[in-house]
Amino acid sequence: MLRRWCIPLAGLALAAGSIAATATAAAAGHAPRPAAAGQLVRPTIHLLRPAGTRPMIGHGFPNTAARSSNWSGYAAHGRKFRSISSSWVEPAGHCHSGGHKYSSFWVGLDGYSSKTVEQTGSEVDCAGSSPRYFAWYEMFPAFPVNFSNTVRPGDHFFGSVTHTSGNSYTLVLKDTTQGWSHTEHKTLASAKNSSAEVIAEAPSSTGGVLPLTDFGTMHFAKAMVNGAAIGKTSPTKIVMASSRPKDAVSALTGGESFKVTWKHST
């Protein structure tokens, strides 16, 4: 994600059959720090998270899928959750049309029906014709943190978020290809633990959802909620769309793996 100054904003909520904003969220971030070689220093942009009313099922778009302006993937909800984890391969960013575009891939608790998100993941953004790769964690609405480690397309990631006890969380992100990992122990008093997600996202700014990087097809695998396949929770499939689908989300394979295929930037 882009990490910039904190400004309260009206949020972009997940919606069924409509992309209208329906809830209140917040922008979060901080001033950019020097980036590691091969990473993107982005212009100052304010981001917001989807939060608020739980999305309803948008029948027929596609069958049994909810529609979101900036999320796609799967979300378990309807009860308390203690952990979420998944593996994925960092996709290559195709920056063929120029301009600035953004995409991120993460696991997290909350955010589907609550106003916090405890999450960690990776990203590929476009600055003109150049793709830039990096990784991060966030305890929204606290400031997010970018990791300085090298990220390249084709890297194998594992991410997990665990509610350990009380207000405490452990966030783990590993790039097993590059050989680095981070384990973050954080607290957040207001978290509800009301959902668990595996998501591809188009970041948003004060002006709305930003153009989605063409990431081709990326794969999430071994998506586990509370130690069992996410499919056992009867999760909601979420498809990213504006006036048309921005990507396609496959059915779950084995209850724990799926792919997301880019279609349009806007």
pLDDT of residue 153: 98
The residues, any chain, with a CB within 8 Å of residue 200's CB and separated by 6 or more, are 71, 72, 73, 103, 104, 105, 215, 218, 240, 247, 260
Distance CA 101, CA 239 (A): 19
**What is the Cα–Cα distance from 184 to 264, expressed in whole angstroms?**
34
Q: What is the pLDDT of residue 136?
A: 95
At 147, which CATH number?
2.60.120.700
What is the number of residues in the chain?
266
Q: 3 in a domain, yes or no?
A: no
**Angle formed at CA 176 by CA 256 and CA 116, multiple of 5 degrees:** 60
| Per-position pLDDT tens, the chain of length 266 | 333 222 222 233 443 333 333 222 333 332 222 233 333 333 333 344 333 333 333 434 444 578 888 899 999 999 999 999 999 999 999 998 878 999 999 999 999 888 899 999 999 999 999 999 999 999 988 767 899 999 999 999 999 999 999 999 999 999 999 999 999 999 999 999 999 999 999 987 777 889 999 999 999 999 999 999 999 999 999 999 988 999 999 999 999 999 999 999 99
Range of the domain at 16: 8-262
Per-residue confidence (pLDDT) for residue 144, from 0 to 100: 74
Tokens at residue 224, please? Answer: 């586990």
The structural domain count of the chain equals 1
**What's the DSSP call for residue 103?**
-
pLDDT at 64: 57
